Structure 1
Amino acid sequence: MNSIISVLVAYNQFLLAQIHQLLLFIVKNIPIKSPKYDAANPKYNKLTVDRLPIIKKPEKLDYKQLLRDYKLKHGKELKPVKSRGKNPVPHDVVCHRCGAPHIYLYDNTGGRGQLLCKVCGLRFNKDKKDFKIGALVCPYCGRILVKKKERKYFNIHKCVNEKCPFYLQSLKNLSPEDLEEYKKDKHKFKLHYIYREFTIDYFKVDLSTMPKGCVNLTFRNFSPHVLGLCLTYLVNLGLSTRATSRALWEIHGVKISHVMVSKYAKTAAALVQPFVDNYDYKPTNYLAADETYIKVKGIKHYVWFIMDALKKSILGYRVSSTRDVGPCILAMRMAFAKFKEFPGKALKFVSDGYTAYKLAQQQFMLKGMDFDLTQVIGLTNDDPVSTEYRWFKQIIERLNRTFKRSYQVTNGYGSGEGSNTHVSLFVAYYNFLRPHSYTYWQPLNSIPELESIPNMPGKWQKLIELSQQFILSRQTA
């Protein structure tokens, strides 16, 4: 008996020693918890957005005043340049800083483009036009950025200085394996400072457009109640146009085609949208943003939502065929327009880690609208930022799921107008008609004219009537 116990104790000690060796191996070679997203990793550098460049605006001088000052100082006039080279300065070229004519300009590089002004001492390129309005300068080393690529809506400027502190630090962060790969394929890494200059002004784009296919609401074959029924089945219950048409016939005995249901929806969306977009929501300073995908004619499109994280109202929305910064800026413009006075740094704007929000923030900063952007990355709380702001993401993801339930029955949209119509009506329903548990099963925004109406078709009719009155008041004003 004693021999069996001694054997078991020895075997137990052997197992404990093996476990100890395995734990040491795990600690040394396998990280117990690795972050899902490491911003310092060069593989994710292309997902980051660099800070804004410095716009270098040269001092504007008057060459006539400089010539007078030279005469007072030296007691003689400044003589023009006597060109002896084979490439004289063209007569139409003037100094970019003081405006001195060609007779005061040297050909500084033997016809290769650089000129030197004898009056103010400026060296400049005669073919470089953007020097007149200002040059983009790297904020780390002070070198002028070089335009590398021209895209459809923006240009890419890059700092090519090999001694730039930003580049040297990025190079220092590379591991030995990444450094060897960088020497072979440099295009896979983003180590230099990069700035995207947008060539289209998204702040001048009209946010309200009338969809095609609208009809006159002078009812002949149907009544306004039928319109309310169409919107109730189509938007509230999330039925398709064909299912709505069938429900009206089988339940109410109303013979209406699915095409007419679609036209009613487009007309209602065109009327309701100005009222919804210009309603005084009295938003708080906590906004959440996210994008979700839809299908239009089988092609992936995107819907951008920006909502008040405390009051739950949808403040900005946009349907786009691309997932770039343009639609993001338009949705943010729509949301920021709800503020009577922009809160600035008091605004807490939370989104996911997509770079379009960071680029949009830079464009708003250029317009004097600075605010704090917090990006919650990943699905778990691996950092203090995610732990503090995770509830923003949960709220906006809940909105996406609610929208998807009404979208999925459509099996994708058949046209761009159809997608815009459905999203506009969904926002109107979500903000003014849908009961929410957050408000004890009442609408998010209370309108006294709608509270006294007992049924949903009547509420839709009244909302359209209020929208018509709003449009007439705006036209009169």
Structure 2
Amino acid sequence: MCKICDSRFSPDESRFSSVKLRCPHCGNTLVPKKDRKHFIVHKCVNPKCPYYLHNLKKVDKADLAEDYGKNKYQLHYIYREFTMDFFSMDLNTLPKNASSLKFNKHNSHVMSLCLTLHVNLGLSLRKTSQALKDLYNISISHQQIANYCKTAAICIKPFVDQYPYEKNNVFTADETYIKIRGIKTYVWLIMNAATRSILGYQVSDNRGVGPCILAMRMAFHGLAKLPKNFKFIADGYSAYPLASMEFAKKFGKDFTFTVTQVIGLTNDDAVSTEHRPFKQMIERLNRTYKASYRHTNGFDNIDGANYDLALWVAYYNFLRPHKHAGYKVLNEVEMLQGVDNMPGKWQLLIFLGQQTILNIQKNGTAASERNCCQ
């Protein structure tokens, strides 16, 4: 029943129930122009729109004289309506199809040796198998090593993602590409410029704004609001400003930030000159990751790429000594400090990951019980 006129109506059948997107500058209805994978592009086509007329004044006169010269510029108001809610996706979902940690032929020490040779030393699966045979007389197939790595990644990833990293006021991000069955796939990396820790990472089959949002969600995990004078530094790719707009729309002023874009390879402007060192940090991180990826000659599926990246991030953040940190690890875990060999550290990382999984399951069960009670 309407609260004003006391008339009854059906929201499903009412002609007033449909939502129309309108231009904030002139009020005209936006027209859908392009249907992309994760969003629909709406455009204001009103030729008298103040936004359009204001931008038209800035167009070069020579371009106006040409046929379709105005098409070189983005003059009309454009709105992207996302068809998928990337903020409701669960980042803690664990992959399936992992092997068990109950060993029949080998033991946990052999598994940690496989991780040390494959992840730390960058050996391929087949060379890892050969090294174990030559050094320790352990006969193990390369497929069994891949199964061990998959299981270890599933156990360790929740600990790496949930760890309370120190988060300063400068984040830098970039994307690089890898090959899966010969097809180009993208890896997104976000790091804290002060501590050099990797805060967000994602493997995606596209270079759209969706995977960028998921990587940013990982980087902002645990923050109630952004630090003071926060800077997010990236290249000139359009996905980063679009993702920042979605964060501002979703969470308000506490997560409103501007992406500082360092464009090109030379310092042609003041912004690039000031922020070039931060861009070089993430480019160096890309090269470090690609060095560990190169021996694989690509992956067979996206799950393999996810497992490999998760193990490498765990190694980079918790096990790898870094020169700028005085040849110490970036994030010191008290339980790992008393271990004097790398296989033992991998076993403890798996244990810490298992504890994190149990805590996530308990919290999820408690939350569902509270919802049932309510």
Q: TM-score, normalised by structure 1?
A: 0.70
The aligned counterpart of 1:5 is: none
Structure 1 unaligned residues grouped into runs of 5+: 1-59, 66-91, 97-127
Give the CA deviation at 1:189: 4.6
- Secondary structure, aligned partner of 1:149: strand
2:352 and 2:6 map into 1 onto residues whose CA distance is 65
The aligned counterpart of 1:170 is: 55
Q: TM-score, normalised by structure 2?
A: 0.89
User: Which amino acid is 1:159 matched to?
Assistant: C
1:191 and 1:476 map into 2 onto residues whose CA distance is 52
User: Which amino acid is 2:41 matched to?
Assistant: I
Give the CA deviation at 1:177: 3.8
Give the CA deviation at 1:268: 0.2
Query: Which residue of the other structure, out of 281, 290, 302, is the alignment partner of 1:416?
Result: 302
User: Which amino acid is 2:209 matched to?
Assistant: V
- Secondary structure, aligned partner of 1:192: coil
The aligned counterpart of 1:197 is: 81
Give the CA deviation at 1:431: 0.4
The aligned counterpart of 1:457 is: 343
The aligned counterpart of 1:241 is: 125
Alignment of 1:14-413 (within 5 A): 62-64=4-6, 96=16, 129-130=18-19, 135-181=20-66, 183-184=67-68, 189-339=73-223, 341-343=224-226, 346-368=229-251, 369-413=255-299
- Secondary structure, aligned partner of 1:429: helix
2:37 and 2:283 map into 1 onto residues whose CA distance is 31
Question: Deviation string for 1:3-60 (max 9, x for gaps)?
Answer: xxxxxxxxxxxxxxxxxxxxxxxxxxxxxxxxxxxxxxxxxxxxxxxxxxxxxxxxx9
The answer on whether the counterparts of 1:282 and 1:338 sit within 8 Å (CA) in structure 2 is no
2:227 and 2:210 map into 1 onto residues whose CA distance is 21
User: Which amino acid is 1:129 matched to?
Assistant: S
The answer on whether the counterparts of 1:141 and 1:164 sit within 8 Å (CA) in structure 2 is yes
Greater length-normalized contact order (CA 8 Å, ≥ 6 residues apart): 2
- Secondary structure, aligned partner of 1:63: coil
Query: Which residue of the other structure, out of 318, 331, 337, is the alignment partner of 1:432?
Result: 318
Give the CA deviation at 1:140: 3.2
The answer on whether the counterparts of 1:212 and 1:417 sit within 8 Å (CA) in structure 2 is no
User: Which amino acid is 2:37 matched to?
Assistant: K
The answer on whether the counterparts of 1:211 and 1:266 sit within 8 Å (CA) in structure 2 is no
The aligned counterpart of 1:125 is: none
Structure 2 unaligned residues grouped into runs of 5+: 364-374
Query: Which residue of the other structure, out of 345, 360, 364, is the alignment partner of 1:474?
Result: 360
User: Which amino acid is 2:39 matched to?
Assistant: F
Give the CA deviation at 1:400: 0.5
1:425 and 1:228 map into 2 onto residues whose CA distance is 12
Question: Deviation string for 1:67-105 (max 9, x for gaps)?
Answer: xxxxxxxxxxxxxxxxxxxxxxxxx97573xxxxxxxxx
Question: Deviation string for 1:388-444 (max 9, x for gaps)?
Answer: 211211111111010010001111111111100000000000000000012100100
1:323 and 1:476 map into 2 onto residues whose CA distance is 35
Give the CA deviation at 1:184: 4.0
- Secondary structure, aligned partner of 2:300: coil
1:176 and 1:347 map into 2 onto residues whose CA distance is 39
Structure number with larger C-alpha Rg? 1
Q: How many positions carry a matched residue from both structures?
A: 355
User: Which amino acid is 1:144 matched to?
Assistant: T
1:212 and 1:187 map into 2 onto residues whose CA distance is 48
Change (3 A) 1:214 1:178: same
1:284 and 1:206 map into 2 onto residues whose CA distance is 25
Instruction: Provide the aligned C-alpha RMSD in A.
Output: 2.1
Identity of aligned residues (%): 54
Give the CA deviation at 1:372: 3.0
Change (3 A) 1:243 1:175: same
User: Which amino acid is 1:194 matched to?
Assistant: I
The aligned counterpart of 1:77 is: none
1:228 and 1:392 map into 2 onto residues whose CA distance is 35
The answer on whether the counterparts of 1:157 and 1:196 sit within 8 Å (CA) in structure 2 is yes
